[in-house]
């Protein structure tokens, strides 16, 4: 599993002609550390990273808010049609995005949102998987806690904000990692909706190293190492809660 990452690190400090030499020379004789400088001048990499960070942070925050809010309603409130609505919403997970991306694009275009970051934010602000994950976690929290809070005079918004959210750090951390990584690495969505260079994300920007007749693989690998760093930071900082959120099924508190 780690071998491709080792190859990426090795290729990032090589001449383009040496990247695919066989047998592999893991430590080149002449390391090209200048590749890590060229990537910032060859393409507007800082702009792409800034756009990607903006979209990722906004989408992650919105998904945490909408998923946890909806999950609380599905897990702890009783209303007519709750189960049917939940099954219908979760059923969308089984439909691949490629099946409806064209109608979705036409809808965004009719709203004059194509070629804007707002289109991607609106489409990714809600997650059926996130609702499912948070609901499963909320169901492990005893209903008696919510009943006791209601007896003490707390309304549903207070129960959600002061009781459920503090208890759901493992689930929120798990959802944060999934959403952050998915949005940061998203290629097809920005490819469809963003055409201006000043709006593009890093995954589209990497294609600028590929021309009609050649590809600068050393620079591509160097840029890939750079954009991998934020993902590693997020994962390592939330790893403890991530493992707990995936593995735990008991009462939190």
Q: Per-residue pLDDT tens for 204-237?
A: 888 888 876 677 888 888 888 999 998 888 888 8
- What residue ranges in 89-221 does DSSP mark as E strands? none
State the CB neighbour count (10 A cutoff) for residue 172: 22
* CA distance linking residue 216 with residue 214, whole number of Å: 7
* CA distance linking residue 32 with residue 16, whole number of Å: 10
Backbone phi, then psi, for 218, in 5-degree steps?
-60, -45
Contacts 24+ apart (CB under 8 A), 29-32: 32/218
Backbone phi, then psi, for 210, in 5-degree steps?
-110, 120
User: Which of these ranges, 52-61, 165-174, 204-213, has the smallest mean pLDDT?
Assistant: 204-213
Q: Express each pLDDT in 112-165 by its tens digit.
A: 888 899 999 988 899 888 998 888 888 888 888 888 888 888 888 888 888 888
CA 242 to chain centre: 14
* CA distance linking residue 84 with residue 90, whole number of Å: 10
Asked if the 3-247 domain carries CATH number 3.30.70.270, the reply is: no
* CA distance linking residue 142 with residue 44, whole number of Å: 51
Q: Which two tokens stand for residue 175?
A: 């959802």
Domain ranges, ordered by start, for the chain: 3-247
CA 102 to chain centre: 22
pTM value? Answer: 0.84
Query: What pLDDT score was predicted for residue 50?
Result: 93
Contact predicate 174/192, CB 8 Å: no
């Amino acid at each position: 599993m780690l071998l491709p990452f080792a190859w990426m690190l090795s290729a990032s400090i090589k001449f383009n002609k040496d990247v695919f030499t066989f047998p592999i020379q893991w430590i080149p004789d002449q390391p090209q550390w200048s590749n890590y400088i060229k990537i910032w001048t060859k393409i507007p990499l800082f702009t792409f990273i800034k756009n990607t960070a903006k979209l990722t942070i906004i989408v992650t925050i919105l998904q945490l808010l909408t998923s946890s809010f909806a999950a609380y309603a599905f897990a702890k409130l009783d209303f007519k049609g709750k189960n049917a609505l939940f099954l219908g919403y979760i059923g969308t997970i089984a439909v691949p995005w490629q099946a409806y991306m064209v109608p979705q694009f036409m809808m965004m275009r009719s709203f004059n949102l194509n070629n804007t970051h707002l289109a991607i934010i609106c489409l990714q602000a809600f997650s059926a998987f996130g609702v499912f994950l948070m609901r499963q976690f909320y169901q492990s929290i005893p209903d008696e806690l919510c009943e006791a809070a209601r007896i003490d005079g707390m309304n549903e918004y207070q129960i959600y904000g002061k009781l459920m959210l503090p208890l759901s750090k493992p689930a929120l951390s798990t959802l944060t990692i999934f959403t952050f990584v998915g949005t940061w690495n998203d290629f097809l969505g920005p490819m469809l909706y963003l055409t201006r260079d000043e709006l593009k994300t890093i995954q589209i920007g990497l294609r600028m190293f590929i021309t009609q007749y050649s590809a600068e693989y050393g620079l591509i690998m160097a840029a890939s190492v750079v954009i991998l760093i934020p993902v590693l930071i997020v994962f390592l900082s939330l790893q403890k809660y991530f493992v707990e959120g995936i593995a735990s099924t008991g009462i939190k508190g």
